[in-house]
Structure 1
Amino acid sequence: MTHSPVIRPTRLLLALLLAFGLSACASMGSAPAPGATASEPAADAGLDDDVIPDDRLPSQPLTDELLLRFLVGDIALQRDRPQLAAQTWHDLAQKTRDPRVARRATEIAIGSGQLSMARDDAQRWIDAVPESIAARQVMLSLLIRANRLDEAKPHIQALLAAQPQEIAPFFLQMHMLWDKNTDREAALRLTEELTTPYPQLAEARFARAVALANVGRIDDALKELGEANRIKPDWEPAILYRAQLMGKSSTPQARIDYLKSAEGKLPKSMALRSALAREYVEAGQLAGALKVYDEMLALQPNNLEALTGSGLVALQLHDLGTAEKRLSRATELAPQQTGNLRYYLGQIAEERYRFAEARDWYDGVDGEFKPSADKRLVRVLARLGDIDGAQAQLKAIPAPTDEAKVEKLQLEATIWREAGQYRRGYDVLSDGLKRFPGNADLIYDRSLFADLLGNYAEAEAELRRYLALEPDSAIGQNALGYSLANRSTPADTARLAEAQQLLDAAIAKEPDNPTVLDSLGWLRYRQGKLAEARALLEKAYARMPDPEIGTHLGEVLWQQGDKSAAQALFDTAARLDPKSEILRETVQRLGAK
């Protein structure tokens, strides 16, 4: 495992990374991932500023033979024969000892992938103009690429001597030079040799810490960070990297306490606040994370990380209003970087029964979440009444595995459920069970369709069959518990007791799940415990204002005599889901409007 802190590159590091064929952004992933994999060195990166003094140019007459060789090299390039071109220019560099020719030979050798030849040409370039920063940068990149770090030291020393103002920033960012193939032990040796003259430079201690961590010497790395903080008290990079290295050797709460203490000394540090919020999330302390993100947004309302982080945390807390507001703002600020957020915004719109809006969000999803968005789009199109569109969308989804084939069967059944063709959905699942006998997901879904068709005994039997396959499933426990409660009267004590047992098990696993809270509330209603039922249903509805939960709460309020509040809930449910069968049945039975 490698440990690379997130650092923004300065000018010297940027030049080296460009010479190495890297983009600076590609190297700045989330800690503790290693730096980005290096590609071939760029042929012309960082060379345009290389000025060769006239007195370094050899007195070499341009003979006919030399002119012919130059023409051969250029024609070879024009005719897409890079190996011949590289060899020709390599020979010319050797013959002329002209730094301009050596530079050109280096470029062509790199471009043709002949890196050994490129090193030879770059060395001739350096021999001719030792003070050339561009030549040193290219040579250094070639040596790193070849894992010849022991030869890199003089070139780094020369670069630092030419740019002493870059010494501290270079050490802070030195780890960005290594890719996944770098010999980490060699990198540690080089780091120690280069930093030895600077024992009182915090950045040098930081460079040692990173190199030590990357060979697994975490305790030694932490000692170096301690020295860095002794030299520079309350230095943000060392604090953040220490928290990162604490990793699995400490509890999440220990990292939180450490970062909170540091943040108290550096209250304006957005980086520390971000790290603290991420630790809260990692520890499952979502309310703490949201509080930190809110503090960040109070200082920087358009902070993209805080908007995204707080939006996703709010979504987990089922605070859909906050989630939608924050994630929408993030997509407005950075539309090219936030394609995945459209998936979550689609979920929010879908949960709020705004299906046309959900369709538009899912259509705009790109990247890793696109397959999931495409699947959710099937149901959304069906909810919008576009059955042909839903079927076309489903057909376009690949199914290379049995698991994917089962998922497509479930989606097909969903289309017919939204279309009100319950028998057709039931038959799809039944056919699926012939192809995949004993598949728990298909059994669960078929139980729901059996219930919709009024086959309550079959629905219950299928749920029991599902739980026999998945005995710890909170979803199954909730479904069977609700079914038993919904089909029982207060006199059915045995069935209500079983429902209680199932729902207690489900709520123990998912204490904040609004669907389980709804089931428990409905069980209390069936038991005649109206006050308890109301409290549970109000909690569920606050977390998820779903029409079915609202209908259940409305019925409890109606029975308590608060008919105006109940009617308001029925009206809201009707606006959200005019086709709700539970709402229609409840309103008719109660004589409500």
Structure 2
Amino acid sequence: MLSGRSKFKQVRHLVAPLALAAALAGCAVAPVGAPKAVRTGVQPLDRMQVAIVPPERDLQAQLMAGDFALAANNLKGAADAYGRAAELSDDPKVAGRALELALAVHDQAAADKALARWSALGGKPAELASARARMALDRGDTAEAQRQLDALVSSGDPDAWREFGRILATARDAAQAGMLLERIATPQRLPNDSAAWLAMSELGESLGRHDYAKTLGDAAVARFHDGTTYAWAGQQKFKAGDKDAARKLFAKAVAKEPKNPRLRLAYASLLVQDGQEQAAAKLLASGAQDADTYTLRMTLAARSSDKAALRRLYEEIRRQSDDVQSDNAFTLGQLAELLGKQDDALDWYAAVADDDPRIFDASVRSAVILHLQGKDDDAHEIVAELQTTYADRPEQLRKAFAVDGELYMDARQFDAAVAAYDKALRVKADDTEMLYGRGLAYAEAGHVDQAVADFRKVLELKPGDIEASNALGYTLADNDRDLAEAQTLLQAARAARPDDPSVADSWGWLKFRQGQLDQAESTLRSAWAQRKDGDIGVHLAEVLWARGHRDEARKLLNEVRRLDPKNAALEKTERKLTP
């Protein structure tokens, strides 16, 4: 790499002063009285030679070329440049880098040259054995790979077993790597370090050597009796379906290291997977805490709508030191939101540090809260700041535009929402989520052709997408056009999601448009029973009205008004039914 290295300099060798003097001596003085000779031809300074090192012989030029190629993801170009640099440099690290790159592009000839140079410059035995093992694996020479891996783990290098694991984990042939793992990483050879045993057991699992991984994990438990070993064995038992044994092993792990939040978090995650969320929450609440245990405790309490648990957790973190509160500012903001403390949530989100990976999400949540408080200008100002701050980060920029669109959609400013999604699509033209969002905005704004075009584009990019199929089918049905196509789309959506109330609502509305009132009513009643959604209620009311059940329809519309007073379909339907 170029960091810490001086800028590239071309070495220019000027001719020596004596050479210049000799050149000047060629100008003799003419005899007295003779006319001065007219000087013609090459002047002395024109004879000066400037020797410039050719780029292929300039070490710094080759290193720069290699680094530039890497920056452009041109591995072959980087390998070639570093290969030339290794021939020019006396630094074994350059030769080692050349070898790494040659192996990355599977250039055995270049790797051989780099290895020879590295060895000549005094490469360490463990490093050379590692390189030779990787080269042998790359060309499929199992016997040579085994010899070199044996040399590596016998070298006495403190990182030998870690390097051994890395080599096999990145090998192209998993079967070959698994065989070598079993041959070399035996209980008789592994060091007296539980971390090494567990690493090899985990590597065995990833390479499909499950019996080896289990045997080594069981042996580690019998030998080391530490918390991490019990936890790994418990995880293996859980994967094998022996949940009772898994719980016992995790309980032993936590008992061995009660102050280790990592172990309690792992045990709690296992309990959650087993459906024991209350037991997981109780386990997490005991002992030392960190940001992850707080986050999982909040998630479990929110999932069960346990406001009391959320309140206790919020107050618990607030009693901690300023540093702990600062580290958990985002979690405190989420807790405050869940407890309905919007102003407190804004304060906590504002306290999230700029270098916190959740700073973007904190800003988004702040914008949402301000929108809910009716402070739309402030909300959109935050989003605009995000768009500026993350202008060079496409994924975050896209999300910022999407948030803008969602805020406008919720405020029923559909044209503004379309404009926001337009900006997102300028970042990535074929972004299906943004096309879908813009299609919804177009549909709500009454721009049916544009909405249909966007939904069709999504289906072109993601054939069979359920959301787009449902949206396009509903839009066609709602506008009483292409009902045969709408039926095909919605049948597919129903088959994929038979219990989805939103899909059932679309199907029921299609049946209404087709004049099949019995099927429309039964489908919409079922959807309404599953989810008290304003749109479903309005559709059911209109079907009931058409069937002459007007009192029931009015009662249902009143219920929708109570649940969703801003529902656009409610206002439209009431105008139509009671002109």
| 1:500 corresponds to | 555
CA distance in 1, matches of 2:476, 2:328: 42
Cα deviations by residue, 1:528-550 (Å, 9 ceiling, x for unpaired) = xxxxxxxxxxxxxxxxxxxx79x
Please report how far the alpha carbon of residue 215 of structure 1 lies from its aligned counterpart in structure 2 after TM superposition.
3.4
CA distance in 2, matches of 1:401, 1:296: 40
CA distance in 2, matches of 1:465, 1:276: 48
Alpha carbons of structure 1 residues 142 and 119: separation in structure 2 relative to 1, 3 Å: farther
Residue 133 of structure 1: SS of its match in structure 2? coil
> Structure 1 counterpart of 2:475, which letter?
L
| 2:148 corresponds to | 121
List alignment gaps of at least 5 residues for structure 2: 1-90, 171-176, 388-392, 458-468, 481-508, 515-519, 568-579
Q: Retained in 2: the 8 A contact 1:202–1:228?
A: yes
| 1:100 corresponds to | 124
Alpha carbons of structure 1 residues 428 and 234: separation in structure 2 relative to 1, 3 Å: closer
Please report how far the alpha carbon of residue 518 of structure 1 lies from its aligned counterpart in structure 2 after TM superposition.
5.9
Q: Give the alignment partner of residue 534 of structure 2, picking from 457, 464, 475.
A: 475
CA distance in 1, matches of 2:268, 2:437: 41
CA distance in 2, matches of 1:305, 1:111: 46
Residue 112 of structure 2: SS of its match in structure 1? helix
Alpha carbons of structure 1 residues 306 and 283: separation in structure 2 relative to 1, 3 Å: farther
| 1:328 corresponds to | 350
Q: Give the alignment partner of residue 295 of structure 1, picking from 296, 312, 316.
A: 316
Please report how far the alpha carbon of residue 88 of structure 1 lies from its aligned counterpart in structure 2 after TM superposition.
5.0
> Structure 1 counterpart of 2:166, which letter?
S
> Structure 1 counterpart of 2:317, which letter?
M
> Structure 2 counterpart of 1:346, which letter?
A
Alpha carbons of structure 1 residues 254 and 322: separation in structure 2 relative to 1, 3 Å: same
Please report how far the alpha carbon of residue 118 of structure 1 lies from its aligned counterpart in structure 2 after TM superposition.
6.0
CA distance in 2, matches of 1:218, 1:387: 50
| 1:194 corresponds to | 220
List alignment gaps of at least 5 residues for structure 1: 1-69, 161-166, 418-423, 448-460, 485-492, 507-514, 520-547, 550-593
Cα deviations by residue, 1:26-55 (Å, 9 ceiling, x for unpaired) = xxxxxxxxxxxxxxxxxxxxxxxxxxxxxx
Please report how far the alpha carbon of residue 220 of structure 1 lies from its aligned counterpart in structure 2 after TM superposition.
1.8
CA distance in 2, matches of 1:252, 1:153: 38
> Structure 2 counterpart of 1:279, which letter?
L
| 1:149 corresponds to | 181
Q: Retained in 2: the 8 A contact 1:394–1:408?
A: no
* 2:435 is equivalent to residue 409 of structure 1: no
> Structure 2 counterpart of 1:396, which letter?
R
Cα deviations by residue, 1:183-204 (Å, 9 ceiling, x for unpaired) = 34322222222342234x4443
Q: Retained in 2: the 8 A contact 1:346–1:358?
A: yes
Q: Give the alignment partner of residue 248 of structure 2, picking from 223, 226, 241.
A: 223
Alpha carbons of structure 1 residues 437 and 278: separation in structure 2 relative to 1, 3 Å: closer
* 2:401 is equivalent to residue 374 of structure 1: yes
Please report how far the alpha carbon of residue 245 of structure 1 lies from its aligned counterpart in structure 2 after TM superposition.
1.9
CA distance in 2, matches of 1:101, 1:441: 69
> Structure 1 counterpart of 2:209, which letter?
D
Please report how far the alpha carbon of residue 303 of structure 1 lies from its aligned counterpart in structure 2 after TM superposition.
4.3
> Structure 2 counterpart of 1:153, which letter?
A
Please report how far the alpha carbon of residue 292 of structure 1 lies from its aligned counterpart in structure 2 after TM superposition.
1.0
Residue 241 of structure 2: SS of its match in structure 1? coil
| 2:485 corresponds to | none
* 2:166 is equivalent to residue 134 of structure 1: no
1:396-475 superposed matches below 5 A = 396=426, 407-412=437-442, 425=447, 439=472, 441-442=474-475, 471=525, 472=527, 474-475=533-534
Residue 339 of structure 1: SS of its match in structure 2? helix
Alpha carbons of structure 1 residues 276 and 444: separation in structure 2 relative to 1, 3 Å: farther
* 2:426 is equivalent to residue 393 of structure 1: no
Q: Give the alignment partner of residue 272 of structure 2, picking from 240, 244, 247.
A: 247
| 1:359 corresponds to | 380
| 1:311 corresponds to | 333
Please report how far the alpha carbon of residue 430 of structure 1 lies from its aligned counterpart in structure 2 after TM superposition.
9.2
Please report how far the alpha carbon of residue 280 of structure 1 lies from its aligned counterpart in structure 2 after TM superposition.
1.4
Higher Cα Rg, which structure: 2
Please report how far the alpha carbon of residue 144 of structure 1 lies from its aligned counterpart in structure 2 after TM superposition.
4.9
Alpha carbons of structure 1 residues 311 and 369: separation in structure 2 relative to 1, 3 Å: farther
CA distance in 2, matches of 1:438, 1:384: 16
CA distance in 2, matches of 1:325, 1:482: 43
Q: Give the alignment partner of residue 285 of structure 1, picking from 301, 306, 318.
A: 306
**Superposition RMSD in Å:** 5.6
Residue 196 of structure 1: SS of its match in structure 2? helix
> Structure 2 counterpart of 1:328, which letter?
A
| 1:580 corresponds to | none
Cα deviations by residue, 1:70-128 (Å, 9 ceiling, x for unpaired) = 99x9699599864224335768999x9x973562363476489838666543433555x
Cα deviations by residue, 1:471-525 (Å, 9 ceiling, x for unpaired) = 52512145569999xxxxxxxx985653333565x6xxxxxxxx74464xxxxxx
Residue 197 of structure 1: SS of its match in structure 2? helix
